[in-house]
Amino acid sequence: MIVCFMAAGCAGSRREVTVVKLGHVLDISHPVHHAMEYLAERVAEKSEGRMRIDIYPSRQLGSERELLELLQIGSLGIAKTTTMVLEGFSPAYEVFTMPYLFRDREHYFNVLEGEVGQQLLLECQDFWLRGLCYYDSGSRSFYTKDKAIRTPDDLKGLKIRTPESPTALKTVNLLGGSATPIAWGELYSALQQGVVDGAENNPPTLLTSRQFEVCRYYTLDEHITVPDILVVSTHIWKRLTTEEQTWLQEAALESYRFQKEIWQKASEEALEAVRQAGVEVIIPDKSLFRQKVLPLYEEYMKRPELSALIAKVEETE
């Protein structure tokens, strides 16, 4: 009887742990990865160990598009992606890729935290994708191998890697480059081999990807300020208890605030690091670049849904 009682007591003391897998494509030194580590820590603390987030970085589970496909069938719980990839599911996300849309960083965060940002978090639920929070991804600027970009005219004849985003492609083409979609995991070798002449991204990504080893010019034109987004599979979300959903959502928002604080310092340090590595950092006249993309606004304002979102962004204080 004593043995049976002890066995029952041990069995009763065991707690089942809910494990949710999170995949992303970034290096573990990237500040967005640090935000996801913070998310996992907060979930563990809030749940007192009853819920765990296991992180798979550096494309271990595939490209961003492949990660979203895994979410759609419920084979993965959470993925971090750029909102540009979600344009393939809902054109509404194109609003985030509009060049020079945000007046400043305060305006940018007010949009993310306001009506437009919160609306878009839930935009893809019909596709089994639910946004948990955004992460700051700074602004995208051009980096090139053999030719410095000081004005839009310098982009003429250059093949520039862009994500598979209709708006990003149009933006680069309007600025004078030849937009060339290439998978992120193939970009370093594509730059080395001359498949493309350059690419565009934020300073921490330029540093952690080590693409600065190939590209020796970095032009801070900051043509697009587009956020990353943390997305949960609705299949997995619905399997969670209400309490587990609360832990995860609260932790996601806390990780957003944490990442918002560390991003600017990480960006400045990355910029200094690539300078020290011999990259020429160029501060151009942004007005020359803004002028070139005005036709994109004329085109998109003819699309009712997108024009309404652009107007809401512009009205946000």
The H-or-E segment that residue 21 falls in is: strand 18-23
Which pLDDT score is estimated for 14?
60
Which pLDDT score is estimated for 283?
98
Report CA 252 to chain centroid distance, whole Å: 14
The H-or-E segment that residue 244 falls in is: helix 242-276
The CATH architecture annotation of domain 18-137+227-264 reads 3-Layer(aba) Sandwich (3.40)
Report CA 238 to chain centroid distance, whole Å: 24
SS3 for 161? Answer: strand
| Kind of pairing between the strands at 51-56 and 18-23 | parallel
Per-domain residue ranges for the chain? 18-137+227-264, 140-225+274-315
| Look-up of token digits 């069938």 | 73
Taking the CA atoms of residue 295, residue 93, residue 134 and residue 262 in that order, the dihedral angle to the nearest 10 degrees is -20
Which pLDDT score is estimated for 1?
35
In angstroms, the Cα distances linking 285 to 47, 126, 204, 222, 298 are 50, 42, 22, 11, 23
Give, for all 317 residues of the chain, the pLDDT tens digit.
Answer: 333 323 333 334 467 999 999 999 999 999 999 999 999 999 999 999 999 999 999 999 999 999 999 999 999 999 999 999 999 999 999 999 999 999 999 999 999 999 999 999 999 999 999 999 999 999 999 999 999 999 999 999 999 999 999 999 999 999 999 999 999 999 999 999 999 999 999 999 999 999 999 999 999 999 999 999 999 999 999 999 999 999 999 999 999 999 999 999 999 999 999 999 999 999 999 999 999 999 999 999 999 999 999 999 999 99
CATH class of domain segment(s) 140-225+274-315: alpha beta
